[in-house]
Amino acid sequence: MRKYDVVIIGGGIAGLSLAYFLSQHRSVAVVEREDALGYHSTGRSAAEFVLRHNAPEVCALARIAKNFFDRPPQGFTDVPLLKQRGGVVIASADKIERFEAVLAEERRFTREIERLTPEAAGSRVPILKPGYVAAAYYDPNFWDIEVENLLQGYIRGARRNGSEILERHEILSAERDGADWMLRTAGGEISAKVVVNAAGAWADPIAALFGVDPIGIVPHRRTAITVDLPVGVDATTLPEINEIDEDFYMKPEGGRLLASPADATPCEPSDVQPEEIDIAWAAHYVEEATTISVRRIAKSWAGLRSFSADKLPVVGFSPGRSDFFWLAGQGGYGILTSPSLGQLAASLLMDRPVPESFRHEALDPRSFSPARFQK
Ligand SMILES: Cc1cc2nc3c(=O)[nH]c(=O)nc-3n(C[C@H](O)[C@H](O)[C@H](O)COP(=O)(O)OP(=O)(O)OC[C@H]3O[C@@H](n4cnc5c(N)ncnc54)[C@H](O)[C@@H]3O)c2cc1C
């Protein structure tokens, strides 16, 4: 029987980032149901890093994470984890009022924003359709995340610290055995003093398996497609395109253009696949806002973004328990917040003071506590 201080359920970015930080101090195993780590939401993201456009708490988590991305620990990665992409935020004629309000708000936070005439927007983003854009601004504060390198950095570091990462180990049942959990998995029995629920879309069903009240984590499906860029358009320098209300967004991905209709359809946890209608919406927006006529969709996929009721992550021990810990509800920002939430979760699990960066940001970890959902 293999015994660990902490068993983390879920081999996505959440579970693996925590394993990275915690394994420096505790014996840790990560158990993952699938053959491959990062198979679900983590492998399906748009790989975007932003400092704004989310709740203030999430923006603070992003600022904390940026230090890690810019200066990762020695040996973590051979390549930079962030690449500045920049973004052009656009509005069509019927959304000018909304555009002015957003622009005024964003300028309160950063002076780097540059208002663009429709012509200037067309020069920055040569695929924009003349006539569609009535107003635009450029914001340099958008980056691409090297998600695979980030994930591999966490995995390598966790293994170097002695963690075991066990694929094909679906948790099937759990029961108490004295001070420990006895976990029956698809790969055999293991025991743990503490279990961490980092099961993404499955966070609520996992809680139920442990006799813990679910807290209402709801998976929302989001779809993306990629299409070919016109010959001569350089994907490396093309900025993101963000519709002012996030009706859609587009960004280069692997030399092509990724487009998402920014759908957010509540659904059951599953190996979610894209619906025809959402693929059609993505293609529609490409044709509406750009000069690209979509003849062929190179790739389409869907993934789950899982939210709590207040859309903030859930990090902490289940109320009244010291054997069941939540690391869930990362919504649409689980990759970009992974260094900050991984460090926070490790500190809370070890009953240590929260990281200095959280104090510096005046970010109270109780904002993320599962206790806020207690009835
Ligand atoms: C289309 C799309 C675009 C996105 N864009 C961005 C973006 O630009 N930037 C950003 O930061 N975030 C983005 N996100 C969100 C981000 O992908 C998620 O927040 C993040 O991946 C969540 O990570 P996770 O580890 O919690 O979940 P997952 O990666 O889903 O991992 C959970 C794991 O738990 C495992 N599991 C479940 N039940 C069991 C069990 N019983 N036993 C063992 N294992 C189990 C699952 O197999 C799964 O691998 C996007 C998401 C989508 C879908």
Q: What is the CATH number of the domain that holds 49?
A: 3.50.50.60
Together in a domain, 28 and 72: yes
How far is ligand 1, taken at its centre, from the CA of residue 124, in Å?
33
Q: What distance in angstroms lies between residue 140's CA and the mean position of ligand 1's atoms?
A: 27
pLDDT category of residue 53 using cuts at 50, 70 and 90: confident
Per residue in 314-366, pLDDT (tens digit) is 999 999 999 999 999 999 999 999 999 999 999 999 999 999 999 999 999 99
Residue nearest to atom 31 of ligand 1 (CA): 12
Q: Are residues 270 and 317 in the same domain?
A: no
At 90-142, the pLDDT tens digits run 999 999 999 999 999 999 988 899 999 999 999 999 999 989 999 999 999 99
Same domain, 264 and 356: no
Quote the domain boundaries for residue 365.
2-76+146-216+309-373
CA of 13 to the centre of ligand 1 (A): 7
0.95 exceeded by pTM = yes
Same domain, 104 and 152: no
Q: Which atom of ligand 1 is nearest to the CA of 47?
A: 8
**Distance (Å) from CA 256 to ligand 1 centroid:** 23
User: For the domain that residue 267 is a member of, what is the CATH number?
Assistant: 3.30.9.10
Residue whose CA lies nearest to ligand 1 atom number 15: 332
Percent of all residues in the chain with a pLDDT value above 70, rounded to a whole number: 100
143-160 pLDDT per residue, tens: 999 999 999 999 999 999
Q: Which atom of ligand 1 is nearest to the CA of 306?
A: 19
Nearest CA to ligand 1 atom 10: 333
336-339: long-range contacts, CB 8 A cutoff, minimum separation 24: 336/48, 336/49, 336/50, 336/61, 336/62, 336/65, 336/145, 337/58, 337/61, 337/62, 337/65, 337/313, 338/13, 338/14, 338/17, 338/65, 338/150, 338/154, 339/17, 339/64, 339/65, 339/68, 339/69
* pLDDT on residue 351: 97
